[in-house]
Structure 1
Amino acid sequence: MSLHPQVVSLLKMFEARGLPPIEKLPLSEARAAFEKSSQLLSKPEHIVPTENRMINGYEQEIGIRVYTPETETDRKLPAMVYFHGGGWVIGNINTHDSLCHSLAYLSNCIVIAVDYSLAPESKFPVAVEDAYLATKWVHDHALELGIDKQQIAVGGDSAGGNLAAVVTYLAQQRKELSVNYQLLLYPSTSFDYTESYERYGEGYHLTKSTMNWFREQYVSSVDDLLNPLAAPMLFPENETSKLPSTFILTAEYDPLCDGGEAFAQKLITAGVEVNYVCYPGMIHGFLGMTEFVDDAKKAVQEIAKNIKAHFEKQTVDQQN
């Protein structure tokens, strides 16, 4: 499919604004610009009650925001621990607030957004350990939060999808908690130069230059690029088969598209239950463009429907 007309219009709008590439801005300005842009591009259609908290991270305290859907049932709810995108360098719980409201409302799932430490102040693997500790915190405080400890999922987009996959892997390794579902939205899965990276690395919002800048901020050495905790495509084959049911979404005109598809195939080959969908005519980050792109709203609904169906099936299985 060709680039969707609504995406074409949005890209023209970005170009008309004449803003410098994010990697050319001072770090504080880059982060502020991303937050401002995210709030213009996406506004929550659905609102659920939220609570902000501070918890212990790997090097320092980190923030979380708990989104709790209003429900008439008194049973414990499933949980989705969510990690925002932004190349491990920009983004925060505010930039993805709209998406988290919608996921909590539409899936009837408690969503916990994590404000993990950002690079370059906190290099790899600090964000990984923050993400894992936040997930463990949710597991350990499940009763207090009204969460079913047996129904904890992780999710994220782009760099956040990378962290979600790694947390799932670490949960298997460390055996301190159980993660039974992962939601990976146009995830960063490796540092390889794929065909989609070359084909869509210019002119489609996320550029090769920006991705290289993110990478330089996040990792400290070539060895980091070869670490499975930075690149999920490097998970050992014998460990991949232990990963839980997975939903992976990619966008056709995204430099990360091939990496997400390859990771889906890696899981399928290992015997993992995978629901993989590639949205035609879409670009990286389109889920955060719901004010301008109709398919973004449709995709959020599809994602939430999948989450809800997974947990409903698991609840039935538990009762039987």
Structure 2
Amino acid sequence: MALDPQAQAVLAAFADMPALDFTQLSAPAYRAMIAAGGAFAPGDKVAVEEDLLIPTANGSIAARLYRPLQAAANGGVDRDVLLPLTVFFHGGGFVACGLDTHANLCRCLAQRAQTVVLSVDYRLAPEARFPAAAHDALDAVRWAAANAADLRVRAGTLAVAGDSAGGNLAAVAAQQLRHSGVNIAHQLLLYPVVDCATEHPSYESMGIGYFLGADQMRWFKDQYFDNGADRANSLASPLAAADLSGVASATIISAEYDPLRDEAEHYAQRLAQAGVLTTHMRWPGQMHGFASLLGVLDAADHAITAAARALYYALHVEPFVLR
């Protein structure tokens, strides 16, 4: 279908801005540009937002815990019920963004899926190149699983989630930890980067004029990887993994006008072929990153609701059905 009119308006607002020169752009300059960008709707109200530190093999990393308002049977708030946990990784090309830029997404997922959300501020490139972010993601999920009691969440199962580069890290965690004793119930991937080694056809067809450009993706990858790094390593490219059997069930949302569309959809196909319960939704008329644009795009609210429903089922319903 045609580009959504609200998405067209967003792109028109960017049309008069000077084009970025990715041959000269530095990561700090890009981060400053993102920080100066417009704010979007803050998302749903939650009960608690708590900043904390996660110990990793390479030092502590920041995180933020979102605890939703819990609806009790009597219509009040039941703070004694332990909710399941979702570990969330933000997008930003492995280079930018953080806890604040994705707070609206986390609040909505927490409230609508009735899950505690732990948003992880992993190390960014180029200061910390591959596989730093992947290692931080794995350490964070292991730590969260081992510290359910301290986090006051339901022990024994959790989900991983992320958008764009964060979707990459969530997918990596789901793959790498599948036989580790960490029980990952679901992976929610919003327009994820799952192939850092190959450019799929949507790089050509959707690589110019739709918010995220193919040149921008190439720049992100050049920041993330050292020269000579194996970009097809499954820690970098989940799509390249030979065996996907036994990976957690997945919900993958792709955007029609996104250079990452084809790799995300190929990953959904690969998971399904491996016997993994997989739901894929291509959001019509939308571009990369649309789910964060709450208050600007109606589709953002709709997509987050759909994503939260998938999380709710995987964390609250499916474990009991399977028993």
> Normalising TM by the smaller chain, what interval?
over 0.9
User: Residues 156-235 of structure 1: matches in 2 within 5 Å?
Assistant: 156-173=162-179, 175-191=180-196, 192-235=198-241
1:312 aligns with 2:316: yes
The answer to whether residue 30 in structure 2 is matched with residue 27 in structure 1 is no
CA deviation after TM superposition for structure 1 residue 151, in Å: 2.5
Superposed displacement of residue 315, structure 1 = 4.3
SS at match of 1:220: coil
Q: CA deviation at 1:30?
A: 1.3
Q: For each residue in 1:34-54, what CA deviation from the matched residue of structure 2 results, as whole angstroms up to 9, or x when unmatched?
A: 2332x5234324334110011
**TM superposition shift of 1:19:** 6.4
State the partner residue of 1:85: 91
Contact 2:253 / 2:280 at 8 angstroms: preserved in 1?
yes
- Alignment-derived partner of residue 283 in structure 2: 279
Query: Aligned-pair distance for 1:55?
Result: 1.8
1:117 corresponding residue in structure 2: 123
Instruction: Tell me the alpha carbon deviations over residues 193-233 of structure 1, each in whole angstroms, 9 at most, x when there is no partner.
Output: 11111111111111111111110111114442121110001
Residues 1:178 and 1:251: Cα distance change in structure 2 (over 3 Å): same
Partner of 2:226, secondary structure, is coil
Q: Which amino acid aligns with 1:312?
A: H
- For the residues of structure 1 that align with 2:138 and 2:36, how far apart are their CA atoms? 28
SS of corresponding position for 2:154 = strand
The alpha carbon displacement at 1:20 in A equals: 3.6
Deviations 1:85-131 (A, max 9, x none): 01101111111011101111111100000000001111111100101
Aligned to 2:4: 4
The equivalent of 1:242 in structure 2 is 246
Q: Percent identity?
A: 35
Query: Would the alpha carbon gap of residues 168 and 205 (structure 1) be closer, same or farther in structure 2, given more than 3 Å must change?
Result: same
Give the counterpart letter for 2:139 in structure 1. L
Structure 1 distance, partners of 2:25, 2:65, is 31
Structure 2 runs not aligned, ≥5 long: 71-76
Distance 1:80 1:23 in 2: 37
TM-score, normalised on structure 2?
A: 0.93
Supply the AA of the counterpart residue of 2:106: C
User: How much does 1:276 deviate?
Assistant: 0.5
Structure 1 unpaired stretches of 5+: none
Please give the secondary structure, in 1, of the residue aligned with 2:54: strand
**Equivalent position SS for 2:184:** coil
Which residue of structure 2 lines up, in the alignment, with residue 70 of structure 1?
Answer: 69
Deviation at 1:309, TM superposition (A): 1.7
| Contact 2:185–2:315 under 8 Å retained in 1 | no
More helix by share: 1
1:241 Cα deviation after fit: 1.0
Match of 1:43 in 2: 42
Residue 40 to residue 17, structure 1, CA distance change in 2 (3 Å): farther
Structure 1 stretch displaced more, 216-225 or 153-162: 216-225
SS of residue matched to 2:286: coil
Q: Please report the RMSD computed on the Cα atoms of aligned residues, expressed in angstroms.
A: 1.7
Take 1:222 and 1:266, find their aligned partners in 2: how far apart are those partners? Answer: 27
Cα 1:298–1:313 change in 2 (3 A) is: same
CA distance in 1, matches of 2:82, 2:275: 30
- The TM-score normalised by the length of structure 1 is 0.93
1:291 is displaced (CA, Å) by 2.0
Output the CA distance in 1 between the equivalents of 2:184 and 2:114: 18
Q: Which amino acid aligns with 2:155?
A: K
